[in-house]
Amino acid sequence: MTVERLLPVNGVELCVRTSGDPADPAVLLIAGSNSSLTSWPDEFCARLTGRHVIRYDHRDTGRSVTYPPGEPGYGFPELVGDAVGVLDALGVASAHVVGLSMGGGIAQVVAVDHPDRVTTLTLIATSPAAPGAGDLPGLSPEALEYFTTLSQPDWSDRASVVEHFVGVQRWFTVGEFDEDAVRAAIEHDHDRTSSFQSAGNHDLLHGGPDWEGRLEAVTAPTLVLHGDRDPLFALPHADALVDLIPDATLVVLRGVGHELPKSSWDVVVPAILDHTEV
């Protein structure tokens, strides 16, 4: 059974969607920057059998609280607090925490600051959420050129906005690109979101305390899943996570970019199920 509801979390309202039996082990999925809970497809969640799957809209995405574009009333620490707050609102003492991209950064900090709330940790397409990880590669030249020349859509025009994000998703995708499916997903997300432009507030967030050296304190069993063709965080970012987090395990997703394509699920889903079988 899937249930979606607005819940009070840390003084704001966040939209939370749960599926599966609440008596089963909880898996908290934390989406990336600018992304809502729909970035975790229903079919992907359904394949996490025997798990109580929890997704939520970050602030400024989906049906959650929205702030004016360019004026986020929060920082990265608040997004970390929201992840824990969602568990509190649902009465979940501890969860298997899975984070993708920015969500992986949030998940790392939750694991450091709230170790009792994290049963296991899974990090997908992300980078160490701390300085001191060594000289890691930045954006690829192609990525740098793409993002520095990317123009903004007409936010008042649905078609312009959808076309813009179809193009962004096309750039992130390695291999076959299912434009019809991507377009339908973006249209759905647009139509359930009160201010699609406000998601850009995530790009303006400031950090919190200095977490340098603290990833070594992670006690949760950690799985790192990373595409070998990620143009945003090249594979050395995943290697750094494995070096910093005690006993972390790396699974390289061959032919995958900064994404979680359906073609990778036959590797990703069994890996997560095995990792969360504790």
Looking at the annotation, which residues are catalytic? 101, 230, 258
Where are the strands (E) in 70-221, listed by range? 95-100, 118-124
Closest CA to 79 of 54, 108, 51, 52: 108
- Closest CA relative to residue 69, chosen from 169, 195, 211: 195
The pairing of beta strand 95-100 with beta strand 26-30: parallel
What single-letter amino acid sits at 245?
I
Sheet order of strands, 249-253 included: 2-9, 12-19, 52-56, 26-30, 95-100, 118-124, 222-227, 249-253
Amino acid code (one letter) for 226: H
| Cα–Cα distance, 132 to 129 (Å, whole number) | 10
**Rounded Cα distance, 129 and 181, in Å:** 32
Which distant-in-sequence residues (6+ apart) come within 8 Å of 230 by Cβ? 125, 237, 256, 257, 258
Say if CB 85 and CB 184 are below 8 A apart: no
Residue 33, both tokens: 């920057």
